[in-house]
Chain A
Amino acid sequence: MCGTCGCGRPDEPAVRRHDHPGDARRIAVERSLLEENDRRAEALRKRLAERGVEAVGLLGGPGAGKTALLEATFQRLGADPAREAVVEGDCATDLDAQRIAAHGVRAVQVATGAVCHLDAHLVEHALAELDLAGVSRLWIENVGNLVCPAPFACGESRRVVLVSVTEGDDKPEKYPAMFAAADCLVISKLDLLPHVEFDPERCAAGARRAKPGLPVLAVSSRTGQGLADWLAWLGGGA
């Protein structure tokens, strides 16, 4: 059998591309594999918008500080916690949802198991368990992962990607897909900057190569540094 295409011709050379004149018919398809999820995500975004809810996605590697940023935001927002709600995605446990609930904010945990990202369908199911009455902002914290969630929209109007200073300033260069799909880069754990080699300018430049004009903020959820800028960006709307 042909090692390249399994076509059953015993001695055909295993080249990457070859034609089989006469016996194969070409069918043009021209369809995106992401379009089903894109369609669901867009329908979800619209449904939320009709109820006056804006969904904001939080993405970044494991431990980048996504949940800590939410906690700091809820502490400082001074707003009614009943106007916020959170969908938490992790492979296992509801630890993050518990952290959110401790702030009086409604949260539902999606345990994705082996699945390495949330998608619009998973979020739809999560929302069936979340009472959105009175909520104006829905946070969607994705599974900690700088690669896999990138292509899967989840109904967010805006996507925030976190890179903590302890991860290294080269992350946007190494994982451009995530930054190409971002609406804001948050450099997190700024209080640790004196202890690590991390150039915020390089990090910002790398992210802007993937997404020209990307807003870049730097915050510490621990000390509160930069959170005023963050809240201003958040309040700025889509």
Chain B
Amino acid sequence: MHEARLCLSLVDLAVAHLADASRERIVALHLEVGEVCGVVPEALEGAFPICAAGTPAADAVLRIERVPGRDLRLREMEVT
């Protein structure tokens, strides 16, 4: 459940960085997930499709990199 909340934040954050959300599609989101941030990558991946449905990120793939530390960070995204 908390992964769903974080996925909603992720989608909001990503869409806010688009120049034109009506035309652009996000194809990939590159995330850094801290080893001790309390978030399970598989759970993020599971929650993402529902959270992203109907948004420009609907078809985006999550590229998750595990890193040391407690942060959970959207590094960059790929947009077409």
Which A residues have a C-beta under 8 Å from some C-beta of B?
4-7, 16-17, 20, 23-34, 36, 114-117, 119, 147-152, 176-178, 180-181, 210
When distances are taken between beta carbons in the complex, the residues of chain B under 8 Å from A33 are 6, 9-10, 13, 72-74
What secondary structure prevails in chain B residues at the interface with A?
mixed
When distances are taken between beta carbons in the complex, the residues of chain B under 8 Å from A151 are 2, 37-39, 70, 72
**In the complex, per-residue mask of B1-40: 1 if CB is within 8 Å of any chain A CB, else 0:** 1100110011001100110000000011000000111110
| Inter-chain contact A36/B9, CB cutoff 8 Å | yes
**10 A-B pairs with least C-beta separation:** A150-B38, A6-B59, A5-B61, A177-B38, A24-B78, A177-B36, A151-B38, A148-B2, A180-B36, A29-B74
What secondary structure prevails in chain A residues at the interface with B?
loop
* Interface size class, chain B: 20 to 34
Which B residues have a C-beta under 8 Å from some C-beta of A?
1-2, 5-6, 9-10, 13-14, 17-18, 27-28, 35-39, 59-61, 63, 70-80
When distances are taken between beta carbons in the complex, the residues of chain B under 8 Å from A7 are 27, 59, 80
When distances are taken between beta carbons in the complex, the residues of chain A under 8 Å from B27 are 5-7, 20, 24
Q: How far does the Cβ of B30 sit from chain A's closest Cβ, in whole Å? A: 9
| Inter-chain contact B17/A115, CB cutoff 8 Å | no
| Inter-chain contact A29/B70, CB cutoff 8 Å | no
| Inter-chain contact B77/A115, CB cutoff 8 Å | no
Q: How far is the CA of A148 from the CA of B40 in the complex (A)?
A: 10
When distances are taken between beta carbons in the complex, the residues of chain B under 8 Å from A148 are 1-2, 38
When distances are taken between beta carbons in the complex, the residues of chain B under 8 Å from A119 are 5
Partner of A32, one of B5, B60, B71: B71
| Inter-chain contact A26/B77, CB cutoff 8 Å | yes
| Inter-chain contact A25/B76, CB cutoff 8 Å | no
Partner of A31, one of B13, B28, B35, B36: B13
Closest-by-CB residue of A relative to B7 is: A33
Most buried by B among A25, A27, A29, A148: A29
| Inter-chain contact B71/A28, CB cutoff 8 Å | no
When distances are taken between beta carbons in the complex, the residues of chain B under 8 Å from A20 are 27, 78, 80
When distances are taken between beta carbons in the complex, the residues of chain A under 8 Å from B6 are 33-34
Closest-by-CB residue of B relative to A91 is: B1
Q: How far does the Cβ of A18 sit from chain B's closest Cβ, in whole Å? A: 9
| Inter-chain contact B2/A29, CB cutoff 8 Å | no
Known: A20-B78, A27-B76, A177-B38. A116 touches B2 (CB 8 A): yes
| Inter-chain contact A29/B77, CB cutoff 8 Å | yes
In the complex, besides A31-B73, A33-B73, 10 extra interface pairs with C-beta distance below 8 angstroms are: A7-B27, A24-B27, A25-B80, A30-B76, A32-B72, A33-B6, A114-B1, A148-B2, A151-B70, A181-B70
